[in-house]
Amino acid sequence: MDRIDDWRSNGYMTSTSEIQTAVVIGGTGKTGARVGRGLTAKGVRTRIASRSAGTVFDWNDRVTWGPALSGVDAAYVTYAPDLAVPESSSHIAEFADLALAAGVRRVVLLSGRGEPAAEKAEESLSCSGLEWAVVRASWFAQNFSEGYLREPIRTRHLALPVGDVAEPFIDLDDLSEVAVAALTRADLLGRVFEVTGPRSLSFAEAVAAISLASGRAVTFETIGLEQFSEEMTAGGVPDGMVDLLSYLFSEVLDGRNRFVTGVVEEVLERPARDFAVFAAEAARTGAWS
């Protein structure tokens, strides 16, 4: 039986018993797959859930939520398509209520920096009565190697509606290790972990680092928002996703998130991985071949 440790000053009960079972919502994605592997390596029985996973979970189909949550101690939650969409906070509030009712103890939510809608969703979780933590991330380094920026890097020309704004890109291995720590360590509960890489780079500098690491010259061009939207639409990207990316590039990438935090170092007791190290590893493993 769980041993109740104490009432923390942040107002919810924490338990010293270990997390034995977990579900990863968005478990086939970039962070979800890493968190799933990290939990399994720690001996946590882990269920992978998404629209295409063995455990079917769809944010747009509430019937799928209950079965995904049944019989687990904890959940790592990535929201799709992005917490920036207006319905995210009501979805997270409903999800958290259901999780509590299903006997889930702890939820760790992946969030984004400097996004008002994401902060509302974080609040939905922190008010839920669950043990909680938020991993609030800067832009992912792996957007360049596993996400929507991979193909332009592969074809050696990246054009984005962003100038010389600096961003401390976070390596997803670091982010996921912090998420696994938050899921498995009671001392990390009730906190927002704002994770960043160790230095800020502009997109042009990031592309230069990738060119250097891969030995393939990649050019970077700043384009207007309208041209960006037109090109995305012409390339078959759905309207909703074009709007979302346009919002992220035009409003969130305005320099508000350029500062570096020491959270990775604090939680993992080692430095955060530098973008150049990420780029070398991605090149070595054939991300852009």
Residues that bind ligand NAP (CB under 6 A): 26-32, 50-53, 57-60, 78-80, 82-83, 110, 112, 137, 139-140, 143, 147
Residue 147 or residue 161: which is nearer to ligand NAP going by CB?
147
The residue assigned the tokens 């006997």 is 103
Q: How far is the CB of 30 from ligand NAP (least distance, A)?
A: 4
Q: How far is the CB of 60 from ligand NAP (least distance, A)?
A: 5
Q: Is 12 exposed, middle or buried (0-12, 13-18, 19+ CB in 10 A)?
A: middle
Residue 79 or residue 228: which is nearer to ligand NAP going by CB?
79
SS3 call for 22: strand
The residue assigned the tokens 């912090």 is 178
Closest CA to 253 of 29, 30, 84: 84
Q: How far is the CB of 249 from ligand NAP (least distance, A)?
A: 11
Q: How far is the CB of 143 from ligand NAP (least distance, A)?
A: 5
Q: Please give the C-alpha separations between residue 46 and each of 36, 41, 96, 179, in angstroms, as whole numbers.
A: 6, 10, 19, 14
Distance, CA of 130 to CA of 103 (rounded, Å): 10
- Closest residue to ligand NAP, judged by C-beta, is 29
Residue 15 or residue 143: which is nearer to ligand NAP going by CB?
143
Q: How far is the CB of 129 from ligand NAP (least distance, A)?
A: 23
Residue 57 or residue 228: which is nearer to ligand NAP going by CB?
57
Half-sphere exposure of 277 (CA within 13 A, CB side): 12
C-alpha angle 123-77-89 in degrees, rounded to nearest 5:
35
Residue 51 or residue 120: which is nearer to ligand NAP going by CB?
51
Beta bridge mates, 15: 4
